[in-house]
Amino acid sequence: MQCVKCIIHLSFHLLLCKTLQHGREQAIIGRYPQQNKGTYIRVPLVQELESGKWGAKITNKANTSVALNIMPAADCIVGKFRMYVAVLTPMGILRTRRNPDTDTYILFNPWCKEDAVFMDEEEERQEYVLNDLGVIFYGDPESIQSRSWNYGQFEDNILDACLYLMDRAQLDLSGRGNPIKISRVGSAMINAQDDNGVVYGAWDNIYEYGVAPSSWTGSVDILLEYYSTKEPVRYGQCWVFAGVFNTFLRCLGIPGRVITNYSSAHDNNANLQMDVFVDENGKVDSKLTRDSIWGLTL
């Protein structure tokens, strides 16, 4: 079941002698869940759900089934939670068995005012979160080119692939409710050079061991191949990195868009200036000049 940080609808089958009054929902994520890290949540049964706070409300009871509406906290961890119902009985606390059908994906919610990624304008939410198609510009100022790109954030298994990137980066679960931390990790993981991430970059026009960057038309095939093989996908350039990263953001509910900046200064020695060396004839010395100006898509 997939949802965002709003109301979750779940049904459980319980064999009880009494009505479900002294019980609570449990939301668990990760291998070693702990309350102080937000990976083990004891969700109380309440009469009315309160926006931004964990709570569970019974909506229907029939025979051995109970239906619940669950409100996650606005700052809770993003990921795949295992859901249980724990009931206090004369024999102690009894908990429902693991049921994959009640596993729940919780994402960021730009519609929720308490969420860190909240966007006020519906038009912007539609464009920067829900739109799965876009146009990416590339080339140079004298020859600006564009291509359509399928972000595909709602395609099958893309969400699992995006969550895998956080696992691969070993982002602590307690940090997965922070969109800034997730964005930084995602940005690093898209590039294979430093983190053995998703896309292997190449600019030498030699692509015999993979797919030429210009042949890609979307993020789906790239992310699914990486998720399946656990190896970098060859090859990409800046617009491919940007398209895949935008899919990662939108899939998790973080608003994002791809922009292209022409005549970008590439500062190799971090002195915040462009250093150009010329020889005695006034020509640029390519051996000494390491900084450059290029088009950048991000």
CATH number of the CATH domain containing 102: 2.60.40.10
Counts of helices then strands in the chain (DSSP H, E)? 6, 15
Domain check: are 251 and 128 in the same one? yes
Same domain, residue pair 199 and 253: yes
Q: How far apart are CA 22 and CA 296, in angstroms?
A: 58
| Assigned domain for 298 exists | no
pLDDT at residue number 31: 82
Q: How many CB atoms lie within 10 A of CB 291?
A: 15
Same domain, 192 and 217: yes
* Whether the bond into 40 is cis, omega within 30 of 0: no
Q: Looking at the structure, tell me whether residues 48 and 18 fall in a common domain.
A: yes
Q: Are 278 and 284 in contact (CB under 8 A)?
A: yes
Boundary residue ending a domain (106, 141, 161): 106
Assess whether 135 and 179 both reside in one domain.
yes
Q: Dihedral through CA 203, CA 204, CA 210, CA 215, nearest 10? A: 60
Is 52 within the bounds of a domain? Answer: yes
Structurally, the chain folds into a number of domains equal to 2
Contacts for 232 with CB less than 8 Å, ≥ 6 apart: 192, 196, 197, 198, 199, 200, 226
C-alpha pair distances (Å), 182 with each of 79, 92, 163, 255: 11, 39, 10, 12
User: Which residues face 12 on adjacent strands?
Assistant: 66
Give the range of the structural domain holding residue 164, as residue numbers without chain letter.
122-259
**Is 131 in the same domain as 249?**
yes
Q: Are strands 2-4 and 104-107 parallel, antiparallel or unpaired?
A: parallel
165 lies in the same domain as 251: yes
157 & 93 share domain: no
| Cα 243 from Cα 219, distance rounded (Å) | 6
| Mode of pairing for the β-strands spanning 8-13 and 65-71 | antiparallel
Are 45 and 129 contained in the same domain?
no
Angle at the Cα of 116 from the Cα atoms of 112 and 117, rounded to 5 degrees:
70
DSSP-derived secondary structure letter, 117: T
> Does residue 246 sit in the same domain as residue 126?
yes
Domain final residue pick, 81, 106, 131? 106
Looking only at Cα atoms, what is the longest distance across the chain? 94
For residue 180, tell me if it sits in a domain.
yes
Question: Which of 106, 136, 158 corresponds to the end of one domain?
Answer: 106
Same domain, 191 and 249: yes
Q: Please give the pLDDT value at position 3.
A: 46
Question: For residue 139, is it within any domain?
Answer: yes
pLDDT of residue 60: 84
pLDDT of residue 83: 87
pTM to 2 decimal places? 0.86
85 located within any domain: yes
Q: What is the CATH number of the domain that holds 184?
A: 3.90.260.10
pLDDT (0 to 100) of residue 140: 80
User: What span, in angstroms and rounded, lies between the C-alpha atoms of 295 and 247?
Assistant: 21
pLDDT in tens, the chain (298 residues): 334 455 666 665 544 434 444 456 688 888 888 888 888 998 888 889 888 889 988 888 887 777 888 889 999 999 999 988 887 777 777 788 888 888 999 999 999 999 999 999 999 999 999 999 999 998 888 888 899 999 999 999 999 999 999 999 999 999 999 999 999 999 999 999 878 999 999 989 999 999 999 999 999 999 999 999 999 999 999 999 999 999 999 999 999 999 998 877 766 777 778 777 888 888 887 777 776 666 667 5
Q: How many CA atoms lie within 13 A of 27 on its CB side?
A: 25
- pLDDT at residue 21, rounded to an integer: 47
138 in the same domain as 65? no
Residue 279: φ, ψ to 5°: -90, -175
In 3-state terms, what secondary structure has residue 189? Answer: helix
In three state form, how does the secondary structure of 192-255 look?
Answer: HHHHCCCEEECCCCCCCCCCCHHHCCECHHHHHHHHHHCCCEEEECHHHHHHHHHHHHHHCCCC
